[in-house]
Amino acid sequence: MAADIPENLQRRRFLTAATTVVGGVIAGLTVVPFVRSMEPSVAAQAAGAPIDVDVSKLEPGQLITVMWRSRPVWVLHRSEAQLKTLKDPKLIETLKDPDSKEPQQFGPPVVNWHRSLKPELFVAVAICTHLGCIPTYRPQIAPPDLGPSWVGGFFCPCHGSRYDLAARVIDGSPAPLNIPVPPYHYRSETVIRVGSLKGGKDQNWQPAIW
Ligand code: FES
Kindly give the distance from the C-alpha atom of residue 67 to the centroid of ligand 1, in angstroms, as a whole number: 20
Ligand 1 atom with the smallest distance to the CA of 131 is 1
Q: 170 or 47: which carries more pLDDT confidence? A: 170
The rounded distance, in Å, linking the Cα atoms of 69 and 51 is 9
Kindly give the distance from the C-alpha atom of residue 38 to the centroid of ligand 1, in angstroms, as a whole number: 31
CA angle 98, 12, 195 (to 5 degrees): 55
pLDDT value for 45? 59
Statement: residue 58 has pLDDT above 60: yes
The rounded distance, in Å, linking the Cα atoms of 54 and 179 is 22
Statement: residue 62 has pLDDT above 90: yes
Kindly give the distance from the C-alpha atom of residue 162 to the centroid of ligand 1, in angstroms, as a whole number: 9
Radius of gyration of the chain measured on its C-alpha atoms: 16
Q: Average pLDDT over the chain, rounded to whole?
A: 85
What domains does the chain contain, in order, with CATH numbers? 2-80+98-134+177-200 (2.102.10)
Is residue 50 very low, low, confident or very high in pLDDT (cuts 50, 70, 90)?
Answer: very high
CB 50 within 8 A of CB 196: yes
Q: Is the CB of 161 under 6 A from ligand 1?
A: yes
User: Picking from 89-93, 103-107, 127-131, 200-204, which range would have the lowest pLDDT averaged per residue?
Assistant: 200-204
Q: Mean pLDDT over residues 180-201, rounded?
A: 94
Kindly give the distance from the C-alpha atom of residue 18 to the centroid of ligand 1, in angstroms, as a whole number: 14
| Nearest CA-CA partner of 83 in 51, 111, 122 | 122
- The pLDDT tens digits of the residues spanning 5-43 come to 444 444 444 444 443 343 333 333 334 455 555 555 566
Q: Is the CB of 136 under 6 A from ligand 1?
A: no
Interior/surface letters 10-42, b for 16+ CB within 10 angstroms, e for the rest: eeebeebbeebbeebbeebeeebeebebeeeee
Statement: residue 3 has pLDDT above 70: no
Nearest CA owner, ligand 1 atom 3: 159
Q: Mean pLDDT over residues 144-171, rounded?
A: 97
Q: Mean pLDDT over residues 141-159, rounded?
A: 97
Q: 112 or 2: which carries more pLDDT confidence? A: 112
Residue from 130, 136, 170, 210 whose mutation best tests the ligand 1 pocket (most atoms within 8 A of CB): 130
Q: Mean pLDDT over residues 89-108, rounded?
A: 96
pLDDT value for 204? 83
**Amino acid, res. 68:** W
CB 18 within 8 A of CB 118: no
The rounded distance, in Å, linking the Cα atoms of 169 and 129 is 9
Is residue 208 very low, low, confident or very high in pLDDT (cuts 50, 70, 90)?
Answer: confident
Kindly give the distance from the C-alpha atom of residue 57 to the centroid of ligand 1, in angstroms, as a whole number: 31
| Nearest CA-CA partner of 94 in 164, 42, 41 | 164
Nearest CA owner, ligand 1 atom 4: 159
Q: Is 7 helix (H, G, I), strand (E, B) or coil?
A: helix
